[in-house]
Amino acid sequence: MALNDPGGADADAEEPPSMLWGLDPVFSAYSRLYITDILQMKESRQVPGVYFYKNHPFFQVDVLGTVVYKREREDFYCYGVDDSTGVINCLCWKDEKWRDQGEPTKCTSSTLRRDPSGSSRGFNIEDELKRLKEAERQSTELEIGDLLRIRGTVKTSRDAREIKATCFYKVSDPVMAVQISHMLEMPRLYRKCYDEPFQMPSDDLGGTEAGGSSHFHYLLSRSVLTLKEFLLEKEVARFRPYDVEFLLHPLIQTSSAEQESDQHRTSLATQIRKLLKETLSVLQDEGQIFRKMRTQDEVYNVTEQDKDLHTAIKDILREDTKREKYAEKGCHVLHILSSMRQRYSQNLSREVLEVALTFLECKSDIISTTEAHYIVL
């Protein structure tokens, strides 16, 4: 049997360590596997009761199949289930509450006693409860040929694999729709999940560099947000980097408290400087801030607060819409950009202009006639 094992074609493949099994989503799910695979998957050497198919760990399964064998005892049913790829024994324990049921027929007839007019004589909860229990019980009593769905754990007892059911019921499938959709679904599941190798995340976590960069990105997003909020709240029109550096201090301090000791090697000041530089770069790319003049003095203008910028834009629009060329449709963004570059600042980027235009439009100072054309009101 080991030779034909589809789940472990590479017989020397090492099992992933048991600590990581929980990271594989199929491990916690009642996985839908073909019975032939359930019968052939190898038991784990680390933890008995867990089985491997292509280095995915399984211990809970969900099968749908025809009952081809039945054995009933006082406490349990043993159904042999055939899904056309294999047959497996399923141990289905009877629920204790059904044992004290009494004659099942009595329950159903009593609840049928209703008014001749058709309305029931009140809602008799005891009778309804009995009917519910009876329906539940009947859904677990199957005959050969019935369709059974089982969810349970895989066990090996006396060299035979079986499923110990945690939940089982007869499936009503009068036009075989359930079986057909199951047959169509299974290959897709295999191709998407079970046949894909289990990616062990230990490769990602390895190395402080990899771990560090994701942490840095987190810090960066927080600092960008912090700065934006500050600039908005204080209505800052212009600033220099050291004016806003203080905002980043609490971020670095909380992070260094959580991080590994090798982060302490780089001094706090260097970290802050690096974070500030990246934050300003992100904000510039977004168009939220800009440098009007590239001088040694690092001054940043805040797009939405820069009154001169807004006035310049409105002036351009006002003047140009008087010209016949732009009168009806308005000025295109690129036209405004080139005018602004001549008039206001050579370093103006399209992103900054678009942020400013959107801001002015929200204030109803200008209107966009198309997605890229603007006129002044």
Partner 1 sequence: MLPLPAAFYFPWEINIDLVKDGASVRTFGRLTSYVPEESKAVLSCQQSSAQCHVSVQTSLVEPFQPILGAQYFVLGEIEKTDGLGGVTLHARALTCVDGVDLALMQQAIVEQRRFFEEREKLMNVQAPRCESPHT
The residues binding partner 1 (CB under 8 A) are: 3-4, 6, 9-10, 35-36, 66, 68-69, 80, 82-89, 144-145, 173-177, 180-181, 183-184, 186-187, 190-191
**Least separation, in Å, of the C-beta of 269 and partner 1?**
57
Nearer to partner 1 (CB atom), residue 129 or residue 176 = 176
**Minimal distance, residue 231 CB to partner 1, in Å:** 58
Cα–Cα distance between 101 and 141 in angstroms, integer?
14
On whether the CB atoms of residues 141 and 161 are closer than 8 A, the answer is no
How far apart CA 246 and CA 297 sit, in angstroms, is 19
Q: Which is nearer to partner 1, 3 or 257 (CB)?
A: 3
What kind and span of H or E run contains 7? none
Distance from C-alpha of 370 to C-alpha of 329, rounded to nearest angstrom: 8
| CA-CA-CA-CA torsion sign (341, 346, 350, 353) | negative
* CB 8, min distance to partner 1, A: 11
Which strand (E) or helix (H) includes residue 375? strand 373-376
Q: Looking at beta carbons only, is 4 or 364 nearer to partner 1?
A: 4
Q: What is the smallest separation between the CB atom of 145 and partner 1, expressed in angstroms? A: 3
Q: What DSSP element (H or E) covers 20?
A: none
Residue 368 CA: distances (Å) to CA of 301, 321, 332, 359: 24, 13, 10, 12
The CB-of-173 to partner 1 minimum distance in angstroms stands at 8
Q: Give the nearer residue to partner 1 in terms of CB position, either 144 or 232.
A: 144
Nearer to partner 1 by Cβ, of 161 and 335: the residue is 161
How many angstroms separate the CA atoms of 55 and 35, rounded? Answer: 17
Q: How far is the CB of 165 from partner 1 (least distance, A)?
A: 16
Q: Which is closer to partner 1, CB of 19 or CB of 175?
A: 175
Where is 312: in which H helix or E strand?
helix 307-320
In the complex, what is the shortest distance from the CB of residue 72 to partner 1, in angstroms, rounded to a whole number?
15
User: Distance of alpha carbon 301 from its chain centroid, rounded?
Assistant: 39
Give the dihedral of Cα atoms 61, 67, 68, 69; nearest 10 deg: 80
**Secondary structure class of 153 (helix, strand, coil):** strand
Shortest spacing between CB 33 and partner 1, in angstroms = 13
E strand intervals along 264-369: 289-290, 300-302, 331-332, 366-368
Q: Which of 86, 330 has the CB closer to partner 1?
A: 86
Q: Would you say 103 or 143 has its CB closer to partner 1? A: 143
Written as six digits, the tokens of 163 are: 């499923």
Q: Please work out, in degrees rounded to the nearest 5, the angle formed at the alpha carbon of residue 249 by the alpha carbons of 247 and 251.
A: 90
